[in-house]
Amino acid sequence: MRGLGIREWLESQGHEYIVTDDKEGLDSVLEKHIPDLHVLISTPFHPAYVTAERIKKAKNLELLLTAGIGSDHIDLNAAAAAGLTVAEVTGSNTVSVAEDELMRILILTRNFVPGYHQAITGEWNVAGIAHRAYDLEGKTVGTVGAGRIGKLLLQRLKPFNVNLLYHDRLKIEPELEKELGATYEEDLDEMLPKCDIIVINTPLTDKTRGLFDKNRIAKLKKGVLIVNNARGAIMDTQAVADACSSGHIAGYSGDVWFPQPAPKDHPWRYMPNHAMTPHISGTTIDAQLRYAAGVKDMLERHFKGEDFPEQNYIVKQGELASQYR
């Protein structure tokens, strides 16, 4: 959906609407327009990195909107200091991402990717796939983060008869926790070694950047599977590649990289036992319709001087949302 399908509406209101993929460098289209911008809309999938330097140049900027979920491509502290509003379309692609995570868990558990490669290269070596393929039932799955996406994933995993663990700042409501059959783990480092499969569902913040470094990965169960559709920078890139090469991580899948788009020589492209894709988990047609509608709604409210739904704010009146503090 090019330009979120809102060009005609915006131009009919007398606004100028510029859509570009040229976002990096001093000669980029975005850089040339920064001094004139009133509103900047970006996506987490191919983000426009909004640095403190860019915010300083953007003398007319009022609003930064994320068409999707996750605003870590913006220097949020600089945005708060400059009095800017930052908002995203909360909930727009939670179902899409949770479904994608479940798919990746099964792809890794069943060793699907080598089987697919055999099909397209004319091979037929069942033993070559089966020696690393397992049932999901009976495994211990832990999610690091149990917000909107984490809860949806836990709900979808329950019918597989797995042992569900979760770590978060906050406990899930007792009734839902009981319904899910999930166990709260207050200490992340106590939870992780128990897990056969780890799913990352926490936002990228100063506290979670590089959370999975060489030392923490070394403490994981040998042969662990990891799914990360949250943010690539939560992982130490080289530490993940090394652990996949040694077999300590038996499989790694996700759609998030650092930086994005991932350069052609990014180590995750070439490490063994991965099932990586570009950042696609939240870009289903259904999700695109939801976040396009959400962006239009917030623009309408902005032009009228009205507040957004409270859960959409990431920075409001100089304050960061709790998950980014």
Residue 323: what pLDDT?
A: 81
**80 vs 205: CA distance, rounded Å:** 15
Residue 239 in this model has a pLDDT that exceeds 80: yes
The interaxial angle of helices 112-121 and 94-109, nearest 10 deg, is 70
Q: Three-state SS for 237?
A: helix
| 66 among annotated binding-site residues | no
Q: Taking residues 304-318, what's their average pLDDT?
A: 95
DSSP 197: E
Looking at the predicted structure, is the pLDDT value of residue 276 above 80? yes
Instruction: Tell me the pLDDT tens digit for each residue of 175-219.
Output: 999 999 999 999 999 999 999 999 999 999 999 999 999 999 999
Rounded to 5°, angle at Cα 154 from 160 and 102: 65
pLDDT band for position 155 (cuts 50, 70, 90): very high
Q: Which helix (H) or strand (E) holds 156?
A: helix 148-157
Confidence at 3, pLDDT banded by 50, 70, 90: confident
- Binding residue per annotation — 111? no
pLDDT of residue 105: 98
Based on the structure, what is the number of domains in the chain?
Answer: 2
Mean pLDDT score, 56-61: 96
State yes or no: pLDDT of 53 exceeds 90. Answer: yes
Residue 129 pLDDT level (bands cut at 50, 70, 90): very high
Q: What is the pLDDT of residue 33?
A: 96
Question: Does residue 1 lie within any of the structural domains?
Answer: no
Same domain flag for 172 and 260: yes
93 appears as a binding residue in the annotation: yes
Please indicate, yes or no, whether residues 158 and 186 belong to a single structural domain of this protein. Answer: yes
Does residue 181 lie within any of the structural domains?
yes
Q: Which range of residues forms the domain containing residue 107? A: 93-276
Nearest to 115 by CA among 106, 105, 126: 126
Query: Long-range pairs for 281-284 at CB < 8 Å and ≥24 separation?
Result: 281/93, 281/96, 281/97, 281/100, 281/101, 281/229, 281/255, 282/44, 282/45, 282/68, 282/69, 282/92, 282/93, 282/96, 282/97, 282/100, 282/229, 283/45, 283/93, 283/96, 284/93, 284/96
Evaluate whether residue 131 is within a structural domain: yes
Q: Write down the pTM of the prediction.
A: 0.93
Please check if 105 is assigned to a binding site. no
Q: Would you say residue 1 has pLDDT above 70?
A: no
The CATH number given to whatever domain includes residue 32 is: 3.40.50.720
Confidence category of residue 235, pLDDT binned at 50, 70, 90? very high
pLDDT of residue 45: 87
Q: Cα separation of 320 and 1, whole Å?
A: 30
Element (DSSP H or E) covering residue 81: helix 76-81
Same domain, 26 and 126: no
Question: Any binding-site annotation on 131?
Answer: no
Please check whether residues 184 and 230 belong to one and the same domain. Answer: yes
d(CA 296, CA 320): 23
Q: Which residue has the tokens 């913040």?
A: 205
197 marked as binding residue? no
219 and 313 both lie in a single domain: no
pLDDT, position 325: 77
94-to-37, 138, 146, 291 alpha-carbon distances in Å: 29, 26, 12, 11
What percent of the chain is modeled with pLDDT above 90? Answer: 94
- 100 and 85 belong to one structural domain: no
Average pLDDT of 226-245?
98
Average pLDDT on 286-310 reads: 96
Domain membership of residue 301 (yes or no) is yes
Tell me, yes or no, whether 269 and 133 share the same domain.
Answer: yes
Q: Is the pLDDT of residue 324 over 90?
A: no
Distance CA 91, CA 290 (A): 9
Give the active site residues.
Answer: 93, 231, 260, 279
Specify the length of the chain in residues. Answer: 325
Residue type, 119: A
- Based on the fold, state whether residues 290 and 263 are members of the same structural domain: no
13 has a pLDDT exceeding 90: yes
Q: If you average pLDDT over residues 34-42, what whole number do you get?
A: 96
Q: Are residues 32 and 145 in the same domain?
A: no
